[in-house]
Amino acid sequence: MASKVAVVTGANKGLGFSIVKGLCLKFDGVVYLTARDQKRGLEAVEKLKALDLHPEFHLLDVSDENSIKDFADYIKTKHGGLDVLVNNAAILEWNEIYPTYEAAKRNIEINYQSLLSIEKWLYPLLTDGARVVNVSSACGHLSNLKNKKWLETLQKKDLTTKEINEFVEEYLGSVRNGTFNKDDFADEGKHAEHRVSKTAMLALTMVQQRKYQNKNISINAVHPGHVKTDMANGGGDLEADEAAQTILYLIMDASPNLKGVFMWHDKKIVDWYDYEGDYYCKDVW
């Protein structure tokens, strides 16, 4: 019987590294640590080997569709399928609370638009019973948005990927042409680009789960907490190994009937659609 296969993106450090570590300890199969920098990825693998853990490494730059396609071809040829996919790769640039168009575009390309290419090339490889976890944050909850038109669109039960893309492009257009409105967001729109990318990721999670409803695939999203990583800019109150536990729970222990949910770091399921709730991100500056 072929070995099961798990893949974690953006895994050479921080939370991704801890997820790989946890999978190596618990997952009965091959675990791929992927990263866009080969040197750093191989160094991360060596650190785990020193702990008597043995992940495989593969180069994967989620911002490059050709890189995603090459990786998908490799997985298909070597393993035939994919059982676990953790979409963890993400960026947050701290130097501008209200980013330039180029910085906003960069964040959205990596944090959201890469998932569209991942769906195109890797989702066809998902096996029966596969689990996908999208690593988001409090920035992904719908309460980060105040723009009524956006809220009405994203709450639709028949929401489409095209409509999510239009929401993203409308935000980017406002940054590009100077019409960005802080009132469209919670907390004066600080790091609105991150709120948009992570909200779009959550919306896509819901759309994808509905799209694959007839297949035995669980697609969920998680807010792992405020993790002590580079992305937290020196802040954070959770160690990466601790934060990884919620993601590992969704992969290893959660009911396969848990589909299309947004899980908080305490393993509670929150209502993503509750845009009046107090779930919005308050710690991204």
Model pLDDT for residues 63-110, shown as the tens digit of each residue: 999 999 999 999 999 999 999 999 999 999 878 899 999 999 999 999
In angstroms, rounded to a whole number, what is the distance separating the alpha carbons of residues 245 and 31? 16
Domain-located, residue 107: no
Domain-located, residue 193: no
Domain-located, residue 159: no
In angstroms, rounded to a whole number, what is the distance separating the alpha carbons of residues 130 and 256? 9
- Here the CATH number for the domain that contains residue 259 is 3.40.50.720
From residue 281, alpha-carbon distances to 89, 141, 192, 207 in Å are 19, 8, 10, 23
Model confidence at 245, pLDDT cuts 50, 70, 90, reads: very high
Which residue from 32, 36, 91 is spatially nearest to 62, judged by alpha carbons?
A: 36
Q: Is 284 in contact with 190 (CB distance < 8 Å)?
A: yes
From residue 5, alpha-carbon distances to 29, 35, 202, 266 in Å are 6, 17, 24, 27
Domain-located, residue 191: no
Structurally, the chain folds into a number of domains equal to 1
Which residue from 68, 72, 13, 9 is spatially nearest to 39, judged by alpha carbons?
A: 13
* Strand (E) or helix (H) holding 29: strand 29-35
Residue 94, pLDDT score: 78
In angstroms, rounded to a whole number, what is the distance separating the alpha carbons of residues 119 and 134? 12
Domain-located, residue 255: yes
* Strand (E) or helix (H) holding 6: strand 4-8
In angstroms, rounded to a whole number, what is the distance separating the alpha carbons of residues 144 and 280? 5
Model confidence at 232, pLDDT cuts 50, 70, 90, reads: very low
Model confidence at 215, pLDDT cuts 50, 70, 90, reads: confident
Q: Is 72 in contact with 118 (CB distance < 8 Å)?
A: no
The upper half-sphere exposure of residue 196, i.e. CA atoms within 13 Å in the direction of its Cβ, equals 34
Domain that holds residue 17: 4-94+117-144+201-270
Domain-located, residue 214: yes
Q: What number is the average pLDDT over the span 274-280?
A: 94
Domain-located, residue 162: no
Model confidence at 229, pLDDT cuts 50, 70, 90, reads: low
Domain-located, residue 252: yes
Q: What is the pLDDT of residues 138-190, one digit of tens each?
A: 999 999 999 999 999 999 999 999 999 999 999 999 999 999 999 999 999 99
In angstroms, rounded to a whole number, what is the distance separating the alpha carbons of residues 119 and 198? 16
Amino acid at 98: Y
- What backbone phi and psi angles, to 5 degrees, belong to 118? -65, -40
Q: What is the pLDDT of residues 12-46, one digit of tens each?
A: 999 999 999 999 999 999 999 999 999 999 999 99
